[in-house]
Structure 1
Amino acid sequence: MVPWRHGATVPWCHDATVPVCHGAMAPRRLGAMAPWCHGAFVPWCHGATVRRCLGAMTPRCVCATVTRYHGATVPVCHGTMAPRRLGAMAPWCHGATVPWCLGAMAPRSHGAMAPLCRGAMAPRCQAALVPRCTDIQLDKDTTMADHYTSGYPT
C-alpha cells in the first residue's frame, strides 16, 4: 500500500494488483476487473496493491463491482482493499473490507465487515454480523437448531 513506488502494494507501479495499469481485474482496460490497467488487480500502475490504481487493495481504482454501486468488492474504485475505489478494504468504495464503500469490511459502505456499509460484519450497514444493518441477518427467533430439528422425528 505504498504510493508513488514500483513494488507490491504501490500505486503507479509495475506489479500485480495496480490501478491504471495492464492487469486482470481492471475495467476499462485489457485486464479483468481492473480499470485503466494491464496487470492483475492494478489501476494506473504495474504493481500489486497500489493506491490510486485499479487493482485490489488500492485506492481510487476499479475492481469487481463498479464505483458507487452495490457489488461485492468496491464502489468508486476498481480494486479490492483500495480506498476511494471499487476494491475491498478501500474507503469510498463498494468492495469488501473497504470504508465508505459497498463491499465487505468497508466503513460507510455496503460490504461485509465495513462500518457504515451494507456488508456483513460492518457497523452501520445492512449485512450479516453488522450492527445497525439489515442485510443477510437472521431473525432473532431463528436458530440453527430449528433447521436441524424441524421435520425430523425426535
Structure 2
Amino acid sequence: MIYIKEFIYAFLSTLGFSIIFNIPKDSIVKSGITGALGWIIYIFVNNNYYSKVAGAFLGAIVVGMIGEIMARLFKKPATVYIIPGIVPLVPGAGMYYTMLSIIEKNFIEAANFGTETLFIAAAISSGVIISTTLNKTIFNFKKIKNC
C-alpha cells in the first residue's frame, strides 16, 4: 500500500515539473510515469537495503532506461523523459540539512549530510550516464547485426 501512495506522489511531482519544464503535452503523463517508477525503485532499495545512494543509483538507471525506450518509441528527445524523471531522486532535503547545519555551526553534521548528498548526486548522474550508454550500445549493436 505504501508503494501505491509513493507512486502517486512521485507521479504528481514529476507531472508538475514536466509542466514547469514545458514538456510537450503528449509526453507529460509519460514522464510522470518515468519519474514515479524511478522513485519506487529508490524507495524499495532504501527500505530493504538501507542505502539511499544505491537506491538513487538504481532509480536513475531505471529512469534513464525508460526515458531512452520512450524516446525511441514516441520519437522525442530522451531528455523529455529523463530530466523530469530524476526530479524525485534529487536530494533536496540533504542539501537543506547541509546548509542548516553550516548555519548552526555544526560542521561535523554538515559534513555528514553534505557527503551523503554528494554521493546521491553522483549516483544519479552515474545511473543516467550508464543507462544511456548501455541503451545506445544495445541499439547500435542491433543496428549492426541487422545490416
Query: Shorter-normalised TM-score: what interval?
Result: under 0.3
Per residue, is there more helix in 1 or in 2? Answer: 2
Higher RCO (CA < 8 A, seq sep 6+): 2
Relative to the length of structure 2, the TM-score reads 0.27
Relative to the length of structure 1, the TM-score reads 0.27
